[in-house]
Amino acid sequence: MDYRKFFNTEIEKFKDQGLYRKFRNIDRPIKSFPSADEKALDSEREVEVWCSNDYLNMSQHPEVVNDIVKTLLEYGSGSGGTRNISGTSTFHTDLEAKLADVHNKDASLLFASAYTANQSTLWTLGKKIKDIEIFSDELNHASLIQGIKNSGAKCHIFRHNDVDHLESLLKEVKKSTPKMIVFESLYSMEGIRSPIIKIVELAKKYNCMTYLDEVHSVGLYGEDGKGIAVEMGVEDQIDIINGTLAKAYGQMGGYIASSFEIIDYIRSFSPGFIFTTSICPSIAAGSLKAIEIVSMAEQLRIRLKENSSYIRQLLDSVAIPYIDTNSHIVAVMVNDPFLCKKVSQDLIDDHKIYAQPIFYPTVPKGLERLRVTVTPKHRKEHIDKMVRALDKVWAKNKLPRRNISKISTI
């Protein structure tokens, strides 16, 4: 077999479909965000970042940075190994206790990433619980899907947020059969919430475990930023909650929060936990500080909500199509992979606005978009500039608008 030819041919096919990804080198100096530096081999330019998952800018918060540097200088850069071989420190155990408190759970367990936490936990449960059947929302994150697939457990996929379809699938399975419903509280590519209360009711009715991904909710919603499950008052009825340190908390790593029994079980049987080097003590220290700040940062959450509402008002005024939600995620719909890339390129070339194009497999084919995220550090003038730029790029590329009679100038 000509291996090189195989790889080149596959990449060319990928490019022909408009699905090939290019990555930009974006350096984000602390003092200038949302302005950042894009660096190429022979050039450098200042751009505005509009697609960061650092939702509350905690990665650049001076107290967080100071705690990371202090810990780094005192304890070094690495953790020393896996959790069972030298890789457990007081920073790790303190952080797990804090995360359990965030979700009002007995305990939590740290992983190298939220992807690993999802994949490893679902693999372990699906593999170890005999004859378990899993019910998964069709728009679940790749990490959830991969964990379920790897487990080999029987999986039923229900239409996105369709509780009637979910119940029809549950009815077909014996009540005595072990079951688990896997879903997200806030879907990251749409900004749409799940009907979490109704799903919990179905879980009770049909004797199911529940696994909830709160990655894009933690720190941003609910009392003290504890997430949507806490906001809706159902966290005690969710068996396992998955979260991340890499978004609202601005660090890296992921975790699950649950009962003592479930956490001890995953800790004891999950290869993705047992055989992975633990996160750096400095990152754990920074995460502890970020959680402390975020828990008291109601003004940041209010500002984020106000900014999100304002950008939607402006998008409405120029009839730019987007998925209308009340979350901090604004999905601007282009619905073509080549045009989506073109819009992104025009934004950065003509207006120095950086918004990464999103296409398959992250979203279904034909639903390509710009996933715009506004942060508390984006001021009114930044939002005005962003929507003006979108308006011009939309016109330049002759893209369809909605309610075109209502277009105004901003």
The full set of domains in the chain, from first to last, is 17-56+297-406 (3.90.1150.10), 61-295 (3.40.640.10)
Q: How far apart are CA 142 and CA 168, in angstroms?
A: 24
Of 219, 216, 218, 151, the closest CA to residue 180 belongs to 151
Q: What is the pLDDT, as a whole number, of residue 43?
A: 84
pTM of the predicted model as reported, rounded to 2 decimal places: 0.94
- Is residue 347 helix, strand or coil? helix
Query: What b/e string do you get for 23-38 counting C-beta neighbours within 10 Å, with b at 16 or more?
Result: eeeeebeeeebbebeb
Of 328, 93, 307, 65, the closest CA to residue 219 belongs to 328
Average pLDDT per consecutive 10 residues, the chain (410 residues; last block may be shorter): 96 94 93 93 91 97 98 96 96 98 98 97 98 98 97 98 98 96 97 97 98 98 97 97 98 98 98 97 98 97 97 96 95 96 97 96 94 97 98 97 53
Q: How far apart are CA 77 and CA 260, in angstroms?
A: 30
Q: How far apart are CA 30 and CA 377, in angstroms?
A: 11
Q: What is the pLDDT, as a whole number, of residue 265?
A: 98
Question: β-pairing, 329-333 with 353-354?
Answer: unpaired
Q: Which residues participate in catalysis according to the annotation?
A: 247
Structure tokens that stand for 69 in this block: 């540097």
